[in-house]
Amino acid sequence: MISIQSKLPHTDTTIFTVMSKLAEEHHAINLSQGFPDYDCDPKLLNFVTDAMQKGFNQYAPMPGLLHLRELIAEKVSDLYDAIYHPDTEITITAGGTQAIFTALSACINPGDEVIIFEPAYDCYAPAIRLLGGLVKSYEMAPPTYAIDWEMVRKLFSANTKMIILNSPQNPTGCILSNADIKALIKLTKETDVLILSDEVYEHILFDEHQHQSIARYPELQERSFVVASFGKLLHATGWKLGYCLAPQQMMKEFRKVHQFNVFSVNTPMQMGIANYLKDKETYLGLSAFFQQKRDFFRTLLMETKLNLLPCNGSYFQCVSYAHLNQEKDIDMATKLVKEFGVASIPVSAFYTRNVDHQVLRFCFAKKQETLERAVERLMNL
């Protein structure tokens, strides 16, 4: 038999796939994978359908449709007072994950060190290793998942190439504060360290918190790739559309990889999204929409034996069961599916080391009745 020497010998199927498959097998309510169980706006679907029917079905330009990039530039300018030139500093991608992988591919060489904050979205570490880079993890802990920036400083070395940030954060729902940003500016000042800022939940913050986009701060903007997602923005995760912002010289290197990775992204959906984003309420209203869901879900969960952790952004709620038992979180998550009919994600899957705080993640981007049925089952814990 022909064998392939694995480039990721210790990487298995993602926990999202595992838990969704388990949920399907046991007919469980799937609060594991981060996708809505309701449809996106019919108006958006009509815009996409209209683009298809008008013949916009061939390749888009490699960086994406210019009109869409112009709208993104306007949005970022309005929200963050940041200037990105549509021609040279914005690229439409096949989702946030592709943008992250492409940015890493453009920059990371064997031996380069990349600092990540764990629990971290699970594509970061494998992508770094695939490129020959070294992962240096700062491990955050519940309940607040706060960052001690002096400890982060100790992770720096002569080989530090990049820091990856994610706010609002998946899986914890924590967000970067203004104090965090000040510490980051101080840490990276007079260095050549790059930043990759994963901001796919940028429009989902609660309790009047303001999103601390890296694009807001010129000292950080000049060294950063900023990644965003239309899937999260438009309740259409299956479309796999996003974008990346970066200064011209950095975007030039990004596009060198992008053109040989996917080249360009779905044309009619870009057309439809461009028409849809003309109404700014499509994204300005997201926080209120999801805060209602968060508050509803948290109120229900308070009637269970699970302890709620803070959730300041994203559409994920983490809970602790450490006061109930010391089972591994993967075992607890499996039990919830098989015995109680509710699927979650064990947060230990978001650490590179064997770290288990007995915390589970639920997605509340679901219909009200879905959340009600799920919590009815969790009441039996």
- Please give the pLDDT value at position 118: 98
pLDDT in tens, the chain (381 residues): 888 899 998 888 889 999 999 999 999 999 998 999 999 999 999 999 999 999 999 999 999 999 999 999 999 999 999 999 999 999 999 999 999 999 999 999 999 999 999 999 999 999 999 999 999 999 999 999 999 999 999 999 999 999 999 999 999 999 999 999 999 999 999 999 999 999 999 999 999 999 999 999 999 999 999 999 999 999 999 999 999 999 999 999 999 999 999 999 999 999 999 999 999 999 999 999 999 999 999 999 999 999 999 999 999 999 999 999 999 999 999 999 999 999 999 999 999 999 999 999 999 999 999 999 999 999 999
How many whole angstroms from its chain centre is CA 154?
26
β partners of residue 343: 30
- Please enumerate in sequence order all residues whose Cβ is within 8 A of that of 107, keeping only pairs 6 or more positions apart, or say none: 161, 162, 194, 253
If one counts every other C-beta atom within 10 angstroms of the C-beta of residue 79, the result is 18
- Please give the pLDDT value at position 296: 98
- Identify the CATH assignment for 15-40+284-378 out of 3.40.50.300, 3.30.70.100, 1.25.40.10, 3.90.1150.10: 3.90.1150.10
Domain ranges of the chain: 15-40+284-378, 58-279
> Top-level CATH class of 58-279?
alpha beta
Across the chain, the runs of DSSP E, i.e. the strands, are 29-30, 90-93, 113-118, 134-139, 160-166, 194-198, 224-229, 242-245, 307-308, 316-320, 342-343, 345-346, 359-363
- Please give the pLDDT value at position 378: 98
